[in-house]
């Protein structure tokens, strides 16, 4: 894990000292697991209570500090963390789209009450490059084969292959809508048969 340098610690009951972290490569839309080691640097114990209480979470910000994802996934504490105690947590971390340069800010939150940064603590603010989900393009021979075999593939694959007014006639769109509409009729039929059983069908 990479150690965190010294940072301001406020005096008071609730304060966090960030000790170390570990991140894997971040790819757009992919969920990975971050490891964070923190110390209770305040005078009050930390407790998680199901989805309430104190939890580890994060924000994805753009380089200017504007929020891209504010309410990141929560990670509860495994046990009571008393003043001076250290705990290591795993945080499910979903990278934002599109790829680019971001800031990742970890913070503790007392759920439905406040973030620790709002009461004087420092967030763990890290610059992160989010890479494309797939680096290497699909082999040209595979694209050519699909284009020859499936005319609709070209419409979906090429940047200018499908005009906006063609979308409602595009095969995949029509099939999807027909499936949704068919499912609606199926549900109505099931409700009808439960509420008004057919008297001509033996039970």
What is the spatial distance between Cα 52 and Cα 67, in angstroms, rounded to a whole number? 23
Q: What is the pLDDT of residues 59-103, one digit of tens each?
A: 999 999 999 999 999 999 999 999 999 999 999 999 999 999 999
Spatial distance between the Cα atoms of 167 and 169, rounded to a whole number of angstroms: 5
Task: Give the chain's domains with CATH numbers.
Answer: 2-131 (2.60.40.10), 140-195 (no CATH)
pLDDT above 80: residue 179: yes
Mean pLDDT of 181-187: 90
Global confidence as pTM:
0.69
pLDDT at 14 over 80: yes
Buried b (16+ CB within 10 A) or exposed e, 53-85: bbbbbbbbbeeeeeeeeeebebbbbeeebeeee
What is the residue-wise DSSP string for the chain? -EEP------SSS--EEEEEEE---EETT-EEEEEEEEEE-SSS-B-EETTEEEEEEEEEE-TTS-EEE-SPPPEE-SS-B-TT-EEEEEEEEEPPSS-EEEEEEEEEEETTTEEGGGGTPPPEEEEEEEEPS--SPPPHHHHHHHHHH-HHHHHHHSTTSS-GGGGGG-HHHHHHHHHHHHHHHHHHHHHHHHHS--TTS--
Q: Which of 117, 118, 90 is nearest to 31 (CA)?
A: 90
Confidence of residue 203 (pLDDT cuts 50, 70, 90): low
> Mean pLDDT, to the nearest integer, of 47-54?
93
Burial of 126 (0-12, 13-18, 19+ CB in 10 A): middle
Give the residue, 152 or 48, on which the prediction is more confident: 48
Report the C-alpha dihedral over residues 46, 47, 53, 59, rounded to 10 degrees: 50
Predicted confidence at residue 1, as pLDDT, reads: 92
Give 176's pLDDT tier (boundaries 50, 70, 90). confident
36 phi and psi, to 5 degrees? -130, 130
What pLDDT shows up at residue 113? 95
What's the mean pLDDT when you consider all of the chain?
91
């Amino acid at each position: 894990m990479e150690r965190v340098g010294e940072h301001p610690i406020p005096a008071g009951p609730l304060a966090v000292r960030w000790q170390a972290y570990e991140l894997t490569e971040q790819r757009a839309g992919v969920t990975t697991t971050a490891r964070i080691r923190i110390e209770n640097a305040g005078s009050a114990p930390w407790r998680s209570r199901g989805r309430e209480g104190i939890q580890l979470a994060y924000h994805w910000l753009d380089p200017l500090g504007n929020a891209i994802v504010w309410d990141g996934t929560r990670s509860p504490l495994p046990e009571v963390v008393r003043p001076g105690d250290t705990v290591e947590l795993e945080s499910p971390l979903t990278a934002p789209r599109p790829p680019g340069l971001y800031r990742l800010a970890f913070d503790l939150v007392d759920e439905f009450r406040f973030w620790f940064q709002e009461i004087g603590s420092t967030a763990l603010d890290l610059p992160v490059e989010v890479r494309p989900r797939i680096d290497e393009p699909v082999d040209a021979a595979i694209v050519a084969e699909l284009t020859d075999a499936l005319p609709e593939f070209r419409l979906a694959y090429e940047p200018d292959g499908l005009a906006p007014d063609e979308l409602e006639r595009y095969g995949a769109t029509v099939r999807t809508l027909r499936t949704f509409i068919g499912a609606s009729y199926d549900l109505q039929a099931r409700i009808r048969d439960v509420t008004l059983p057919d008297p001509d069908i033996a039970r």
